[in-house]
Structure 1
Amino acid sequence: MGMAKLIGTVLGVGYIRPAPGTWGSLVALPWAWLLHILGGFPLLLLGIIAAFLKGWWATAQMTRGSEDHDPSEIVVDELVGQWIALLPISYAAWSMGINVLAMWPGWIAAFVLFRFFDILKPGPVGWADRRGDALGVMLDDVIAGVFAALGVLVLAGLYHGLLT
């Protein structure tokens, strides 16, 4: 397996059936935890940037000359989007000195919301997906991740503001 396939399929996770995108999002969770444990919010943010750039390159390599601009085995975009969805949790834990796993409801919310926006592709998520190129493959998940991160912030605000 070439480097582009290793990156694009996240070490082969994209070949797991059914629902490779969900598997890609799931495998992103322990890796986000590891990045957070090793370097906090700054390392997770750097990981997102690096994974986005490498994912964009890998997607372009894997789809070159193909009719299918977004084959299901490419899941590096899900990894990037899921990491973005987790940014509010990582930031809060890092800035307040809280164990990031103590925020487990936020992890669940980030996962569910990211999958929701990635699957339904509302508004700008769908626009990015319809670009039909490697950048669009990555951007639709970036935007879905931003939407999910905003949802995590709203839910945390509701929980901590209204319910406690």
Structure 2
Amino acid sequence: MERLLCIWFGAGLLRPAPGTWGSAIAVALGLLIHRIGNFPLLAVATVIVTAVGFWVVARHTKGMADPDRSEIVIDEVAGQWIALLFPSFGFWMMGLPADNFPYPGWVAAFFFFRLFDIWKPWLVGRADRRHDAAGVMIDDLWAGLFAGIATMVAATAYHIPMML
């Protein structure tokens, strides 16, 4: 069961680029969760997958020389959902119905998350260099946070000229 969760039910076995596949599947599931219960349900799901991720990655990789294996993508799911929380919260606060998650929001969250997850700037890279089970999760959580912020900055930059 630990392996199944770590590879997110097989998403981590897809090639090439299992991290990108894991992120894409996370976006699809995140949009479905948002549609079912809006921002509050996505927030709860994100907390749960993050907590489960720390637990299963630590158990699954115990004794491995390199715990940051490419097939482990539960960290991408947690980080991607953090990135999606930002536009989800904005749409929820605006009173948009749960079935309305405009594409620029989730597309930007996906691309910014992949950018920060691959580029690994600052805190993302520092967490990645830990080379332990916690680092496997933490680097993607930082990437998700940075992606969420970048998504909101991009949305603001796009919408400000429209308000003038």
Unaligned runs of 5+ in 1: none
Deviation at 1:28, TM superposition (A): 0.4
Q: Which position in structure 2 is the counterpart of 1:138?
A: 137
Measure how far apart 1:102 and its partner are: 4.7
Question: Could you tell me how far apart the structure 2 residues matched to 1:36 and 1:126 are?
Answer: 30
Contact 2:31–2:101, Cα closer than 8 Å, also in 1: no
Which residue is 2:31 aligned to? 33
Match of 1:49 among 47, 50, 53: 47
Aligned residues: 162
Shift of 1:30: 1.5
Which of the numbers 93, 96, 103 marks the counterpart of 2:94?
96
Distance 1:45 1:102, change over 3 A: closer
Contact 1:89 1:103 in 2 (8 A): no
- Written as runs of structure 1 = structure 2, the 5 A alignment for 1:47-86 is 47-86=45-84
TM-score (norm 2): 0.94
2: CA distance, partners of 1:15 / 1:84: 23
Question: Match of 2:16, SS?
Answer: coil
TM-score (norm 1): 0.94
Q: Deviation per CA, 1:116-159, whole angstroms, max 9, x where unpaired?
A: 00001000000011111111111100000000000011011111
Give yes or no for contact 2:88–2:101 (8 Å, CA) kept in 1. no
Query: Does structure 2 conserve the Cα–Cα contact (< 8 Å) formed by 1:56 and 1:135?
Result: yes
Question: Which one-letter code corresponds to 1:79 in the other structure?
Answer: V
Q: Which moved more, 1:52-61 or 1:120-129?
A: 52-61
**Percent identity for Structure 1 against Structure 2:** 49
SS in 2 for 1:85: helix
> Please, which moves more after superposition, 79-88 or 98-107?
98-107
